[in-house]
Amino acid sequence: MQIPKHFTLHGHLWTVEISRTLKDEESAFGEMLYYQKKIIIYDPQNHTYAHSFIEQVFFHELVHAIQTALSWEADTDTTDDTQVDLFGELWHQYEATKTGNVYKNNGSRR
């Protein structure tokens, strides 16, 4: 699965960047900068993360971006980082495993 360089939410162009160094030793693997419209994935060259792990990090940060766009920030009682992670993991799995085209060759939807 490809991680996009750009996407749009609410008409704002977002950029995804890869950092080859950690922000600091205790930082997370990704960061969502809402006002800069940027997701940073920390993927240091001396680490050998599986690509699927990096994809998971991207979806986690994407869920943060969307929940912030919806004013469902993680610091409210309604959601927390575990829920963000679970939502991102399920979305990632959906994107990585979807197959076929239910309408193909049945003639009803081109």
Which residues of the shown chain bind Zn ion in the complex (CB under 5 A)? 81
Please give the residue whose beta carbon sits closest to Zn ion in the complex.
81
Place of tokens 């309408």: 103
Q: How far is the CB of 86 from Zn ion (least distance, A)?
A: 11
| DSSP label at residue 103 | T
Q: How many whole angstroms separate alpha carbon 51 and alpha carbon 47?
A: 11
| DSSP label at residue 18 | E
Between residues 17 and 81, which has the closer beta carbon with respect to Zn ion?
Answer: 81
Q: How far is the CB of 41 from Zn ion (least distance, A)?
A: 13
Closest CA to 20 of 3, 38, 43: 43
Between residues 81 and 95, which has the closer beta carbon with respect to Zn ion?
Answer: 81
Between residues 80 and 95, which has the closer beta carbon with respect to Zn ion?
Answer: 80
